[in-house]
Amino acid sequence: MTIGVPGGPELLILLLLAVFYLAAPILVVVAIVTSLERRRNDDERVRSLEQRIEALEGERP
pLDDT tens digits for 1-57? Answer: 667 777 878 888 988 998 889 888 899 999 999 988 888 878 888 888 999 999 988
What's the predicted TM-score (pTM) here? 0.53
**How many helices (H) and strands (E) are present in the chain, helices listed first?**
1, 0
Q: What is the distance between the alpha carbons of residues 33 and 41, in angstroms, rounded to a whole number?
A: 12
Q: What is the distance between the alpha carbons of residues 43 and 9, in angstroms, rounded to a whole number?
A: 50
Q: What is the distance between the alpha carbons of residues 23 and 30, in angstroms, rounded to a whole number?
A: 10
Half-sphere exposure of 4 (CA within 13 A, CB side): 5
Q: What is the distance between the alpha carbons of residues 44 and 50, in angstroms, rounded to a whole number?
A: 10
